[in-house]
Amino acid sequence: MDERKKIIDFIEERGDTYKEIAIDIHKHPEVSNYEFFACKRLSEQLIKEGFTVKTDVAGHRTGFTAIYQSNKPGPIFVFLAEYDALEGLGHGCGHNLFGATSLLAASALKQVLEKTGGEVRVYGTPGEEGGENGSAKGSFVREGFFNDVDAALCVHPGANEHKLTGKSLGCAPVDIEFWGRAAHAAGAPEKGINALDAIIQVYNSINALRQHLSRDVRIHGVITKGGDAPNIVPDYAKAKFYFRAATAPVLEEVYQKVERIVEGAALATGAKGRMQPYQNRVENTIPTPYFDEIYEKNLNLFGEVITPRKQNEPMGSTDVGNVSQIIPVIQPSIAITDIPVAGHSEEMKAAACSEKGLASILLGAKVLSFTALDLLENKEVLEKIKREHKEYLNEQLISINS
């Protein structure tokens, strides 16, 4: 039987099972480090599909690895799975579809591995949206889970257009805290050290810093704790900030500038200050265009077409960027609506459980597994992807150093 027909038949036969998984995860939204239901649901399905599964990996209690190794040597491909929800919203980014699609693609590819050779893995990576112990792909990279991997694949739910992998900004999420001394604000203000004043100075100094930053830099934050009562000098205050930039060196430069702002606010107010990451730093994404070209070719086989990205299209951040810094990776977006809707919205949440959204699981799995099969069957294609990825990495280094 032709390998592609075997893949299609498997996906069509198993499709309803993976739609049910996506629906179940949609009904049980969980944020970073608490995706217990999703981790269990996905990992148990992978065991049924014949993968060797391990949970609680890379320092993430809701992370997992699933591995199937054929009897013949060959490349190692990883399908990345996300399944966390948004705080207070649920699956407004479609990660219930994301995880199900990657699992179905990996399971379909497994059906032809004994002929092609090679190894297929699924990495369950919690907290892409950030939060407690978030951006798990950074941990997987740091702990060496990609050291022997040839390439990684995934597809992200989008609105009404199919798009290829785009660039993204690196992001450093931090907590900024100050400790002062409480006092009665009217009766003995001279005895107090105002931690809130220090936080406000940091906030205002960051606003002043913006005019001296390059266009790719974004900084945004909120004050999460500023005191309990107006007549008590706040002895503790806290803020959360994201620092974003197009390259790692610029991001580090911004980080150090804000560190000095925190030090200055501490000196000015007498409060003790601290800035520290509360999750993994996210790296910028480095696309590999030829890898995306193979994906697009396979998408076209199913009568679907790519919408080109607009020049200067707004960029967010994703920990897929961490993976892209070491191996080729694709993360195209797949349409789950018929009309434009905003990401991280109630409309996107509804789309993530709609008929079109659920159908995208099968389409995405077919295109991803076909793309991986192309790389298995043609070593020259894989080698060209690797060469191009290395060239783009080198170009980034040259751009940074020049």
> CB neighbours of 20 closer than 8 A, spacing ≥ 6?
none
Tokens representing 215 are 């266009």
Of the candidates 146, 73, 159, 64, the residue with the CA atom closest to the CA atom of residue 376: 73
Mean pLDDT of 35-52: 98
Question: Residue 313 has what pLDDT?
Answer: 78
Rounded to whole angstroms, how far apart are CA atoms 337 and 321?
Answer: 26
Q: How many CB atoms lie within 10 A of CB 226?
A: 14
pLDDT digit string, tens, across residues 1-21: 599 999 999 999 999 999 999
pLDDT digit string, tens, across residues 163-177: 999 999 999 999 999
Question: Residue 402 has what pLDDT?
Answer: 55
At residue 399, does pLDDT exceed 70? no
Question: Residue 42 has what pLDDT?
Answer: 98
Sheet (strand 60-69) strand order: 52-57, 60-69, 119-124, 76-81, 151-153, 329-330
> CB neighbours of 88 closer than 8 A, spacing ≥ 6?
none
Rounded to whole angstroms, how far apart are CA atoms 399 and 402?
Answer: 5
At residue 382, does pLDDT exceed 60? yes
At residue 401, does pLDDT exceed 80? no
Question: Residue 304 has what pLDDT?
Answer: 98
Q: Are 327 and 146 in contact (CB under 8 A)?
A: yes
The CATH 3.40.630.10 domain(s) of the chain lie at 1-168+284-399
For residue 283, the Cα-to-chain-centroid distance in whole angstroms is: 10
3-state secondary structure of 219: strand
Question: Residue 121 has what pLDDT?
Answer: 98
Question: Residue 397 has what pLDDT?
Answer: 66
At residue 398, does pLDDT exceed 80? no
pTM to 2 decimals? 0.92
The CATH 3.30.70.360 domain(s) of the chain lie at 170-277
Q: How many CB atoms lie within 10 A of CB 302?
A: 12
Rounded to whole angstroms, how far apart are CA atoms 237 and 92?
Answer: 31
Mean pLDDT of the chain: 96
Question: Residue 90 has what pLDDT?
Answer: 98
Q: Are 79 and 368 in contact (CB under 8 A)?
A: yes
At residue 211, does pLDDT exceed 90? yes
Q: How confident is the model at residue 310 (pLDDT cuts 50, 70, 90)?
A: confident
Mean pLDDT of 43-66: 98
Q: Look at phi and psi of residue 270 and say left if phi exceeds 0, alpha if psi is from -120 to 50, else beta.
A: left
pLDDT digit string, tens, across residues 23-40: 999 999 999 999 999 999
At residue 400, does pLDDT exceed 80? no
Question: Residue 395 has what pLDDT?
Answer: 80
Q: Are 119 and 94 in contact (CB under 8 A)?
A: no
Give me the CATH code for the 1-168+284-399 domain, please.
3.40.630.10
Mean pLDDT of 305-331: 93
- DSSP letter for each residue of 83-143: ---BTTTBSTT-HHHHHHHHHHHHHHHHTTHHHH--EEEEEE---TT-STT--HHHHHHHT
Question: Residue 312 has what pLDDT?
Answer: 78
Question: Residue 315 has what pLDDT?
Answer: 83
Give me the CATH code for the 170-277 domain, please.
3.30.70.360
Question: Residue 394 has what pLDDT?
Answer: 85
3-state secondary structure of 262: helix
pLDDT digit string, tens, across residues 112-164: 999 999 999 999 999 999 999 999 999 999 999 999 999 999 999 999 999 99
3-state secondary structure of 288: coil
